[in-house]
Chains A and B, each alone.
Chain A
Amino acid sequence: MSILVGKQTKVIVQGLGKTGRFHTDKSIAYGTDMIAAVHPSRAGEVEQFEGETDRSGVPDRPDSYDVTLPIFRTVAAAVDATGADATVIYVPAPFAADAIMEAATAGIPIIVCITEGIPIADMVRAKRYLAGRPVRLVGPNCPGVITPAACRIGIMPGYIHRPGRIGVVSRSGTLTYEAVHQLTLLGLGQTTAVGIGGDPVNGTSFVNVLELFNDDPLTEGVIMIGEIGGTAEEEAASFVAARMRKPVAGFIAGTTAPPGKRMGHAGAIISGGKGTAAAKIAAMRDAGIVLAPTPSDMGAAMAEALG
């Protein structure tokens, strides 16, 4: 078991630009079941992917792959033809929110949006559009979701992951990689790693992912990695205190960040005295979360929390 995505997940890609193509290839090499692409200007064509199998991915595959993806004009057409149950979006920022709404309307239950720089107002509208529909949006501005040796959706380096016992959820891409790498070196591995993204308006919150990990029988503990800005970590801490049945370790980036300055991520800003690292760390500590003092200690903090 794992959460959100697994070996059975059939994935389409929206946006076959440079990044979309590059990472679709990496995902296929990893063993992800990529089945179609949506790229209106190239509808009716196909895209060829071939290369050497990524040995860190899905086991028991030939040494090389040669995959041809059909390209569709719309998500609905791709779903009709293939029965896809997940999509990954690399569409450029001005059009990405529209791509999210299109995927939701086509009935794809898992939508992972990698695109960075989507206007906030577009996401506010898209989130309103998604409300009440049976879909889960992960991101935007995130590295994606990976269930090791089963399914890689996004842009993370596959080879640092190992199947294992720990769930990872994070607002930061590179800090996710740090945590995953340490868990792999410690032999703990990961059930699923979820990047929820660095934007102020996103589809999936820490609480959403913690709930999923809480109910996943394979997940024995969770690392949550937050940063300055907003109150998502405080809400997660309340959830952990009230409902979480598994040990949680955590880290918060941005202790030294000055107020009023955006630190790389659109969502990483202390404004109006809100969203400070100190407040988040205090809330998490009060909830019994074991905090890593530095990113180098995330794996160790998880091991400590597991006891």
Chain B
Amino acid sequence: MKIHEYQAKQLLSARGVAIPSGRVALTVDEAVAAVGPLIEESGTPIVVVKAQIHAGGRGKGRFKEHPELGGVKLVSAGAGGGLASAEEGVRQAASQMLGSTLVTVQTGPAGKQVNRLYVEQGIDIARELYLAVLLDWAVSRNIVMASTEGGMNIEEVAANSPEKILRQEIDPAIGLADFQAHAIAWALGLEGTTHDNAFRLVKALAAAAVELDADLIEVNPLVVTKAGHVLALDAKMSFDNNALFRHEDVLAMRDESEEDPAELEAAAHGLSYVKMDGTIGCMVNGAGLAMSTMDIIKKVGGEPANFLDVGGGATTDRVMAAFKIITKDPNVRGIFVNIFGGIMRCDTIATGVVAAVKEVGLKVPLVVRLEGTNVEQGRMILADSGLNVIAAADMKEGAAKIVELAGGEE
């Protein structure tokens, strides 16, 4: 689960990570009202309006409705204008951003509608650094990752100059040891009180990741101010969904408007679903088989409309729900049901498909490949249903059939 920048900053600030002052705003008026107190608190005549969406690259992104406007807008009180001019600047930025669609490298061309803003004090930046806590699969532990190359795409830094990336493994029995946090702060070139500030922040960030079951905390950039403060200027957090049951406060931060409605509906039925851009709907049991069903459709010249794993313990109801989610996608021109029944019995799948088709109707070709437990009963249920279901002997044949019937790659 992902959360917004301002929510991440709330969680981190409460755990000792230094952040700039800021206020969340759901309306233009709230954004304007934040300006006065922020300027007073920080003593800085500059505020920044930041669009809150669950995607990165906001600063370089552009609004569809306002091509000159990015997702992060600096507003200055100006030399003579004072507070009123800053408020006017924020009013203009906020009214253009709210309800508009921000397109960034991470949103895809469709972009994301901005419904929340974060108004933050301006910062006198001396240096931009990078800091993250994430799981390192190779060692089965969290690591702290840091770099002097803040504000850049860390993947590019890792690819082009891997020596600029520092790593410290977190021992789950110990947490991040002091010497490790010191090592990071020194490697970032921080000395004196700035070093101490960074040391505290690194320790707090590592502890927060464990306490909150975050699978990623990324602070990019981590900034050093001209006064020597070390602040998380941006914060991206995502959480291990399997651990949310023990974090009600995090769960309460979920913003479902940022998520795909079909994926949400699928999750409510215990289905694992990912929307794709193609035309062949897929219903499969097992994650590996579901992935390779998409792959094989592509291989025979089609494009998958979705990933869908009905899971091992699926019931007829769940199969019906899956079928309805697939048929709701207007791009779907054919459906491929690919089941290797182990625990999931083929007759359960067949019964679910027949019931779903009878309820929602079938306007596109349907190819079903059944193999495994109770396969004969399953095939019989489909054959006796009177529905126009095309049977396939294996998944390669099934994929070829459905792509042909749906009209190829178009």
Query: A residues engaging B (CB < 8 A)?
Result: 19, 93-94, 117-125, 127-128, 143, 155-157, 160, 170-175, 177-178, 181, 198, 200-201, 225, 227-232, 235, 251, 253-258, 260-268, 272-273, 277, 293-297
Contact = CB atoms under 8 A, between A and B. Distances in A.
B122 interface: no
Given A120-B213, A261-B274, A273 B137 contact: no
Interface string B236-256: 000010110110000000000
B79 interface: no
Contacts of B394: 296
A253 B295 contact: yes
18 contacts: A19-B313, A118-B242, A120-B215, A124-B141, A127-B140, A155-B343, A173-B312, A174-B284, A174-B285, A177-B340, A178-B289, A231-B137, A251-B292, A255-B295, A272-B155, A293-B299, A294-B299, A296-B395
- Interface on chain B toward A: helix, strand, loop, or mixed SS? mixed
A82 B16 CA distance: 51
A50 B142 CA distance: 46
Nearest to A234: B138
Given A175-B288, A263-B291, 16 more contacts: A119-B213, A124-B140, A124-B141, A125-B173, A155-B342, A155-B343, A181-B340, A181-B371, A200-B137, A253-B288, A255-B295, A255-B298, A263-B272, A295-B296, A295-B395, A296-B395
B292 A157 contact: no
Contacts of A255: 295, 298
Contacts of A143: 342
B5 interface: no
Contact of B342 (A122, A156, A230): A156
B250 to A, nearest CB: 13
B165 to A, nearest CB: 11
A226 to B, nearest CB: 9
Contact of B288 (A19, A119, A172, A181): A172
Contacts of B240: 119-121
B340 A124 contact: no
A119 B243 contact: yes
Given A177-B372, A265-B288, A254 B172 contact: no
Contacts of A257: 291, 294, 307
B295 A272 contact: no
Contacts of A273: 155, 159
A73 B172 CA distance: 28
A128 B288 contact: no
B71 interface: no
A170 B213 contact: no
B373 interface: yes
Contacts of B210: 121
A121 B244 CA distance: 12
Interface string B157-182: 01100000000000111000000000
Contact of B243 (A120, A230, A235, A297): A120
Contacts of B171: 128
Nearest to A175: B288
Contact of A296 (B106, B288, B372, B396): B396
A258 B290 contact: no
Nearest to A170: B288
Nearest to B240: A120
B395 A263 contact: no
Given A120-B135, A177-B342, A93 B242 contact: yes
Nearest to B396: A296
A267 B291 CA distance: 13
A121 B158 contact: no
A174 B286 contact: yes
Contacts of B140: 123-124, 127, 201
